[in-house]
């Protein structure tokens, strides 16, 4: 592609998102997970610090009761546990079981290997451009999502 317009880039991102969603749908269906459950599992797995049900509800933009339903399903499926914080017994922290981590790793490893294969010829400079593009595009998406889910009153 010699020149990529804003529209071209938007369509490429859309195609990637659609392909990724279809890939996730395969995993979700194989393990009887609702798409929201899959999103929740991913959020809990990738959180930098232990997630609480409240922080998960906020991240999913769900009510407390709907989040409890998601967690109940994930717990019944053997993917997630709810534990009392060792620092504050009033606080509940979410934990992904090692079996769920292993299950997702097994499923996603072929994709990671394919990514590595197609990226191997990228120069360090190209990788920096791609990383900056993905970071800024993700941030722009998050800003618009936040504006759509919490419109300012005026």
Q: What is the pTM of this model?
A: 0.77
- Cα–Cα distance for residue pair 139/136, rounded to 1 Å: 5
Task: Report how far residue 115's alpha carbon sits from residue 131's, in angstroms, rounded to the nearest whole number.
Answer: 14
What tens digit of pLDDT does each residue of 21-78 get?
999 999 888 888 898 999 999 999 999 999 999 999 999 989 999 999 999 999 999 9
- Detail the DSSP E strand segments found in 41-125: 80-84, 92-96
Would the pLDDT of 3 be above 50? yes
130 band by pLDDT with thresholds 50, 70 and 90: very high
């Amino acid at each position: 592609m010699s020149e990529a317009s804003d529209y071209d880039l938007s369509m490429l991102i859309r195609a990637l998102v659609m392909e990724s969603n279809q890939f996730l749908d395969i995993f979700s269906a194989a393990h009887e997970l609702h798409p929201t459950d899959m999103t929740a599992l991913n959020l809990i797995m990738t959180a930098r610090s232990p997630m609480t049900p409240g922080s998960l509800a906020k991240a999913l933009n769900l009510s407390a009761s709907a989040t409890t339903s998601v967690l109940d399903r994930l717990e019944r499926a053997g993917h997630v546990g709810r534990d009392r914080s060792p620092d504050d017994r009033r606080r509940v922290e979410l934990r992904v079981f090692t079996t769920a981590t292993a299950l997702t790793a097994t499923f996603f490893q072929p994709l990671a290997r394919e990514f590595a294969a197609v990226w191997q010829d990228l120069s360090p400079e190209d990788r920096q451009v791609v990383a900056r593009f993905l970071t800024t595009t993700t941030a722009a998406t998050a800003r618009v999502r936040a504006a759509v889910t919490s419109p300012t009153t005026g």
